Amino acid sequence: MVAHRKVRTLSESQPCADARQPVDDRLPLADRFDDDHFPACTMGGAAEPVGATPAFLRGLDETGLITPIRSDGGHRRYSRHQLKLAARVRELVGRGTPADAACRIVGLEEWLEQVERGYGKLRRQGEHSVRQHQRKSVVTGAEI
């Protein structure tokens, strides 16, 4: 029995790799191109800059590393962020890394980057809280 996957369209909400939601469709098109997660590239437009074939990109879709959004006509649309991930996989495969291992490596690199961003945000929040506590202590005369 073959499992059928639901095909997402541009009008549906899809979590992006960095847990952001796609940009609001009401933004002017020119503003959406500045967003690394806006699905602007078609399969043909995506394969060439990555240095890969459309079959390679379809394979990445099957691994789950990259899940392009589908247009109303069912065509895959890739974001610049997804193309960067695909290019990294292509680079690793070009160096002799098996495709499945390259996808795992890139997925882990992506996860680590997200963790580091989250850690940095928490650290900044903590530093802000410490400064607020220190100011409050200076005003009240309390010792830290």
pLDDT score, position 128: 78
65 conformational bin, left if phi > 0, alpha if psi -120 to 50, beta if neither: alpha
Name the phi and psi angles at 9, rounded to 5. Answer: -115, 170
List Cβ neighbours of 65 (8 Å cut-off, separation of 6 or more).
85, 89, 103, 106, 107
Q: Is the pTM of this model over 0.75?
A: no
**The two three-digit tokens of residue 35, written as one number:** 């967003």
pLDDT score, position 15: 35
Strand partners of residue 9: 70
96 conformational bin, left if phi > 0, alpha if psi -120 to 50, beta if neither: left
DSSP-derived letter for residue 9 is B
Helices 99-140/80-94 angle, 10° precision: 130
- Find the Cα–Cα–Cα–Cα dihedral 27, 34, 123, 21, rounded to 10°: 50
pLDDT tens for the chain, 144 residues long, are: 444 444 333 333 333 343 344 444 555 555 655 666 676 676 777 788 888 888 998 898 888 888 888 888 888 888 888 889 999 999 999 999 999 999 999 999 999 999 999 998 888 888 878 777 777 766 666 655
Upper half-sphere CA count for residue 34 (Cβ side, 13 Å): 5
pLDDT score, position 40: 66
